[in-house]
Structure 1
Amino acid sequence: MKKRILLPIFAAFMIFAGTDTNTAQAASTSELTKVAHQYIGVPYVYGGTTAKGLDCSGYTRIVFNKLGHDLNRTASEQYKQGTAVSKANLKSGDLVFFNTTGGVSHVGIYLGNNKFIHAGTSTGVTVAKLNSAYWAKRYVGAKRVASFDNGKVVASVGEVKDAAIDFSIYASRGEVAIQLAEALGLDTSDTNTPFADVKSTSKYAGAVTALHKMNVFTGDESGKFNPASPFTRAQLAKVLVAAFNLEQNGNFVTFTDVSKSHYASNDISILASNGITLGKGDGTFGINDHVKLTDLATFISRVQ
């Protein structure tokens, strides 16, 4: 199977994956609360970032990651994100900060009704009262990095995230950057990205920067990369065919959910005719399904 240079894959990727950025269903306040409470009882571990043990900023980071938003690693760095909120105007999902050991040294998530949830050094993840004697005198301020209103989580920079997507299962655009940079053997040591929504501390920064240097990434219309946005199987089919210069191999392959007028109909058939995809096993391709990480790995390995 003849392939061509990988460079065009991201030009097509920006076109087809970028169009869905602002249409995804996002999290509500109840979903925020549900995710936050999943970790109650997890012990405090200094430097902890997993469900086996969490420190305060590790906890807020893992919760917000589940909700489609990246936070910086430490409490003091998280305090630099978002917009300041007065104590009187706190809403569920706001980050609340405290001075426990000097400066901004502790962070939690406000839940409403004067309560916040956090990873305490002596309690692990638990719910506490903001106006309790201990926390009230140590309160520093609050930041709103996302607003959970009317079922939508809106990032402070205005980008709509897809909070309903579990990116431990599905592939984000940032993850695609990482996987392709690795496949290409690119130098990812430079993390100074040209995109406002990919900070140098982001795990995607090196891959995104390396691919941008190759004139691969130009961003969306507003100049953002949107690393937390997913993309569909139909979009992936379009990208892979364009990237690897694939051609139809035998008869046209059809799926029950792909009309001949669909924009990716030919591309899906090309993938299937070359044995790159078998569909979902029920006669459908899953054109609007988000691409799973396992699918992405399989497609890349089969097309190469």
Structure 2
Amino acid sequence: MKKKWILPMFASFMLVSGIGVSAAEAATVNELTSTAKQYIGAPYKYGGTNIQTGIDCSGYTRYIFSKFGISLKRSSREQFTQGTPVSKSDLKPGDLVFFNTSGSGVSHVGIYLGSNQFISATTSGGVEIDNINDRYYWGSRYVGARRVAEFTNEQAEQVKEAAIDFSVYASRGEAAIRLAAALGLDTNDTATPFVDVKPDSKYAGATKALNELQIFTGDASGKFNPGSPITRAQLAKVLVKAYGLQMKGEPKTFTDVPANHWAYEYVQILASNGITTGKSDGSFGVDDYATLEHLDIFIERIKNNLQ
């Protein structure tokens, strides 16, 4: 029997909105669980907050939730009063689960992963996955759960992206590879900063090199999303930053890119340099997925202009 002695550790949640449940709209269940599992085996240290040198249960939950823009305090006892209570039968991935390991109330917190599993930093094994119904330890010490954030179900997004023909459209990963090659970047360093691009990934060297130049950055959860399509607006920004393009002449009007659009400047710079003329209907196709053909054409035009 593996017995775990957990010292009292505290982590309290402060919602972005102050009360109620925070809507983590940009974060999916899969992003949460994959991020949490990435640190399995991280060493335990009472009072620790460093995932590399040692972290306690509250430091761990705080670290994981911070990657999704959610701020947690340092006391699990106070955290147990935040959000909304959730019955054991209604647990969802992302809920915080609490245990009495000290004999004096809430003293341990973890993140529910689904299928009765939760992940937390323990004194016996560091960050690891356990069962909330474990009859030898956790089951008898379970206190309750709180929902402090809503994580979206990514099923619809996955179905949508599964229907995309990546032999026609450019994924973010493929765009990174082709752009790094066009720029002649050294892609030998595969120590990528992105949680979803491992060193052995074919995208690692390119994403690392482009990130160091601040051409490509990740999302709020630290992911690069190499398998997601890149829009024409996103591509405009990447190309402008990659080649240091500047505005030339008068702005061009595109029906779908008003002056207050976040990509307005990037699209205008591309157009002013003759890299794009837009679509026949007067739009740029700002939200359209960029094709591999257009990616290559844009890069070739820029290179010709710079010669």
TM-score normalised according to structure 1 size: 0.46
Q: Which structure has the larger Rg over C-alpha atoms?
A: 2
Higher relative contact order (CA 8 A, sep 6+): 1
TM-score normalised according to structure 2 size: 0.45
